[in-house]
């Protein structure tokens, strides 16, 4: 493993801001894995650290095919992580809305440009991503429908689901979108939580990336006990959105991954002062809970669950 | 009359209401004045106040409808938060919203639905806490033909016709312009502050525009003749070092190429990290207000004088 500083920015009073890259193997730029892009993506950082641990072992055992190299970037926003903030400390901008970046532009545009310059030529790009609403996903791979997406390759992760998303205007400035525009095969891996660590989902996500690297001929062996699940491909628009009709405290009965039936009570919304039930959230379909929000306080119209229709 | 555009219950004993003040007399056209999308931009508050006050005091001069939306993001304004508190979302990146969407998208869709059909909409912004701007209208090239003539009445100093960017398709102005509601984006002043001179300047401009549209028959001032320019005439100056920016030039001043604009200093070491000089002849229309800068932070924008 070779450790290097990909990008550095001097600060007035803090230690220099650094993006660190860890490289395994030598040769063709075969795969790049990016962990936390935001300061609260602790699960994504931890997942990367466990991937690095596995790759160190595999490299020592000679399991990286010759002529192939893998770059892992565990965190792109250490400054925000160290002060427990999601976005850039001074101006609250999101690095993942700045790609492909601009080296003469504003600070986060420069950071995005510095990172992208180092990773844009990799054949495959994987980002451990998070969602803006606090909540937990069933681990899955997400790809954007840009015309360059490769659904069959996404199956190689062996995660239960691949979600295909139609890009919205703001997506055009994300890492995943720009990787695809630069002709990399780009995948976002959602490893369950964001600012808390779920070890089970970390193991799934790490194994998924190792399986992918193996099937792409980058690793001789994934080092994993099994090759994962038979993947179901779904469009994001096909996920059934279940909203809270009223605001209050949510008492949720079903975690992500639960099979639910149409008409089943998924949660109830309680009056925050009296504890009485204001409303029930009923499953509109048979399916599997794909996403569950985890904030105990909910707004009216909040998206509480997303269900994969069966 | 104060009307509720939309209402959403919050978790604990409170409702979020988007309000508008509809002042109506006669059958004439409708103007919507909108501000407070970003909770830290307050310059539009004084404009809303001045417009509502003057229209109410001279109702006999009104022929049409004036709709004032002073706070599209009331939770942000109340909590000194630029985005929507609790979501860490820039509200001006979620339009046109969705009636079936989550709370933020639902509110956005109701706002668009309510403003839709106005003969003109003025969307007032105040830069952010970092930069001070002269009163200006920013117009996407795609809508320049329709909007530049209208912007000429707003009594601003500058009309910036900028290139289209996909990411800006999520803004309120883009969404409204897409549904045949001509919307002008005004940027002026600085975040978290009021610049009374600018609010009066824009208020005068809004009455000029209202008179042009036949909504207002009262006396108005002669609008300033703004400079109309494109991206090519705007020079950006970004910090080459992190530190504290100490300006040596006043906002709105004309400068020559090579003029001394300020320093980025290291107070601890007592050294100048970067001496900033003007890259061209022109007017400083954007100037850094917040002293702490990272490498890359925008220091100034200069409208270049050609020839």
Contacts of B235 in chain A (CB under 8 A): none
pLDDT at A164: 95
Domain boundary among B201, B225, B249: B225
Q: Are residues B143 and B265 in the same domain?
A: no
**Would you say A76 and A36 are in contact if contact means Cβ atoms under 8 Å apart?**
yes
Dump pLDDT digits (tens) for A157-177.
Answer: 999 999 999 988 888 999 999
pLDDT at B307: 60
Domain boundary among B194, B225, B256: B225
Q: Are residues B259 and B183 in the same domain?
A: no
Domain boundary among B225, B249, B275: B225
DSSP state of A95: G
Q: Are residues B36 and B126 in the same domain?
A: yes
pLDDT at A61: 96
Chain A residue at shortest CA distance from B266: A12
Residue B98 touches chain A, beta carbons under 8 Å: no
ipTM over 0.85: yes
State the average pLDDT for chain B.
Answer: 95
Pairing of strands B271-277, B292-293: unpaired
Residue A181 touches chain B, beta carbons under 8 Å: no
Task: Give the count of domains, chain B.
Answer: 2
Q: Are residues B19 and B118 in the same domain?
A: yes
Report the pLDDT averaged over residues B44-55.
98
Dump pLDDT digits (tens) for A3-51.
Answer: 999 999 999 999 999 999 999 999 999 999 999 999 999 999 999 999 9
Contact check, Cβ <8 Å, B102/A302: yes
Contacts of A303 in chain B (CB under 8 A): 101-102
Can you name the residues that pair with B23 across neighbouring β-strands? B66
Q: In this predicted model, which residue has the larger pLDDT, B307 or A292? A: A292
Residue B149 touches chain A, beta carbons under 8 Å: no
Q: How far is CA A181 from CA A28, A30, A73, in A?
A: 20, 17, 20
Q: Are residues B6 and B152 in the same domain?
A: yes
Distance (Å) from the C-alpha of residue A106 to the closest C-alpha of chain B? 4
State the average pLDDT for chain A.
Answer: 94
What are the structural domains, with CATH classification, of chain A?
2-235 (3.40.630.10), 239-309 (2.40.50.100)
Report the pLDDT averaged over residues A147-160.
92
Pairing of strands B14-25, B2-10: antiparallel
Specify the CATH number for the domain of residue B294. 2.40.50.100
Distance (Å) from the C-alpha of residue B247 to the closest C-alpha of chain A? 18
Contact check, Cβ <8 Å, A299/B167: no
- For every residue of chain B, which 3-state class applies, written as one string? CEEEEEEEEECCCEEEEEEEEEEEECCCCEEEEEECCCCCCCHHHHHHHHHHHHHHHCHHHECEEEEEECCCCHHHHHCCCCCECCCCECHHHCCCCCCCCCHHHHHHHHHHHHHCCCCEEEEEECCCCCEEEEEEEEEEHHHHHHHHHHHCCCCCCEEEEECCCHHHHHCHHHHHHHCCCCEEEEEEECCCCCCHHHHHHHHHHHHHHHHHCCCECCCCCCCCCCEEEEHHHEEEEECCCCEEEEECCCCCCEECCCCEEEEEEECCCCEEEEEEECCCCEEEEEEECCCEECCCCEEEEEEECCC
With bands split at pLDDT 50, 70 and 90, how would you rate the model's confidence at A191? confident
Contact check, Cβ <8 Å, B295/A110: yes
Q: Are residues B210 and B236 in the same domain?
A: no
pLDDT at A134: 80
pLDDT at A229: 86
**Is residue A262's pLDDT more than 70?**
yes
pLDDT at B165: 79
Signed CA dihedral, B166, B171, B173, B177: sign only: positive
Q: Are residues B100 and B238 in the same domain?
A: no
Dump pLDDT digits (tens) for B231-255.
Answer: 778 999 999 999 999 999 999 999 9
Of B89, B242, B266, the CB nearest to A132: B89
Of B8, B11, B292, the CB nearest to A90: B292
Q: Are residues B265 and B132 in the same domain?
A: no
Contact check, Cβ <8 Å, B296/A248: no
What is the extent of the structural domain holding B55? 2-225
**Is residue B117's pLDDT more than 90?**
yes
Contacts of A301 in chain B (CB under 8 A): 8, 101-103, 106
Q: Are residues B167 and B145 in the same domain?
A: yes
Specify the CATH number for the domain of residue B61. 3.40.630.10
Contact check, Cβ <8 Å, B11/A298: yes
Dump pLDDT digits (tens) for B97-113.
Answer: 999 888 999 999 999 99
Q: Are residues B156 and B284 in the same domain?
A: no
């Amino acid at each position: 493993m070779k450790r290097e500083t990909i990008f550095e920015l001097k600060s007035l009073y803090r230690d220099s801001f650094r993006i660190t890259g860890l490289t395994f193997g030598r040769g063709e730029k075969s795969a790049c894995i990016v962990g936390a892009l935001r300061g609260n993506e602790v699960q994504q950082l931890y997942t990367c650290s466990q991937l690095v641990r596995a790759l160190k072992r595999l490299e020592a055992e000679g399991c990286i095919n010759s002529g192939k190299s893998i770059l892992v970037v565990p965190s792109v926003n250490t400054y925000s992580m160290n002060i427990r903030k999601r976005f850039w400390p001074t101006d609250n901008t999101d690095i993942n809305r700045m790609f492909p970046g601009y080296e003469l532009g504003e600070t986060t545009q420069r950071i995005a440009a510095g990172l992208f310059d180092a990773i844009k030529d990799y054949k495959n790009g994987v980002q451990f991503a998070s969602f803006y609403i606090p909540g937990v996903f069933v681990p899955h791979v997400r790809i954007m429908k840009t015309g360059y997406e490769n659904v069959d390759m996404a199956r190689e992760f062996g995660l239960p689901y691949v979600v295909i998303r139609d890009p919205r205007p703001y997506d055009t400035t994300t890492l995943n979108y720009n990787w695809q525009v630069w002709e990399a095969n780009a995948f976002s891996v959602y490893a369950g939580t964001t600012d808390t660590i779920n070890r089970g989902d970390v193991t799934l996500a790490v194994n998924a990336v190792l399986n992918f690297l193996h099937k792409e001929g980058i690793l001789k062996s994934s080092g994993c006990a099994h090759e994962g699940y038979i993947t179901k491909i779904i469009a994001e628009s096909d996920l059934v959105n279940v909203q809270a009709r009223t605001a209050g405290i949510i008492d949720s009965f079903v975690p992500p991954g639960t099979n639910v039936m149409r008409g089943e009570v998924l949660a109830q919304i309680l009056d925050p002062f009296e504890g009485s039930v204001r409303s029930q959230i009923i499953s509109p379909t048979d399916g599997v809970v794909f996403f569950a929000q985890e904030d105990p306080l909910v707004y009216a119209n909040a998206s509480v669950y997303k269900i994969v229709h069966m | 009359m104060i009307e509720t555009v939309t209402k959403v219950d919050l978790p604990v004993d409170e409702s979020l209401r988007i309000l508008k003040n509809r002042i109506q007399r006669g059958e004439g056209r409708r103007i919507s004045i909108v501000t407070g999308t970003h909770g830290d931009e307050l310059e539009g508050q004084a404009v809303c106040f001045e417009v509502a006050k003057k229209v109410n005091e001279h109702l006999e001069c009104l022929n049409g409808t004036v709709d004032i939306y002073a706070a599209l993001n009331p939770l942000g304004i109340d909590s000194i938060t630029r985005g929507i508190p609790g979501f860490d979302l820039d509200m001006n990146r979620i339009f046109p919203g969705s009636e079936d969407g989550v709370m933020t998208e639902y509110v956005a869709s109701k706002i668009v639905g309510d403003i839709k059909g106005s003969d003109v909409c003025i969307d007032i912004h105040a830069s952010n806490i970092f930069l001070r701007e002269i009163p200006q209208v920013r117009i996407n090239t795609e809508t320049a033909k329709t909007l530049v003539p209208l912007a000429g009445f707003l009594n601003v100093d500058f009309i910036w016709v900028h290139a289209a960017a996909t990411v800006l398709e999520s803004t309120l102005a883009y969404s409204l312009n897409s549904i045949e509601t001509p919307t002008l984006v005004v940027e002026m002043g600085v975040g978290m502050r009021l610049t009374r001179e600018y609010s009066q300047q824009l208020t005068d401009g809004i009455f000029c525009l209202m008179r042009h549209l036949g909504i207002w028959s009262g006396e108005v001032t002669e609008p300033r003749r703004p400079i109309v320019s494109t991206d090519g005439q705007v020079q950006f100056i970004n910090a080459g070092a992190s530190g504290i920016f100490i300006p040596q030039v006043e906002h709105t001043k004309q400068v020559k190429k090579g003029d001394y604009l300020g320093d980025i200093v290291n107070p601890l070491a007592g050294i100048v990290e970067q001496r900033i000089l003007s890259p061209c002849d022109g007017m400083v229309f954007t100037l850094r207000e917040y002293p702490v800068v990272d490498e890359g932070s925008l220091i100034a924008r200069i409208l270049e004088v050609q020839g």
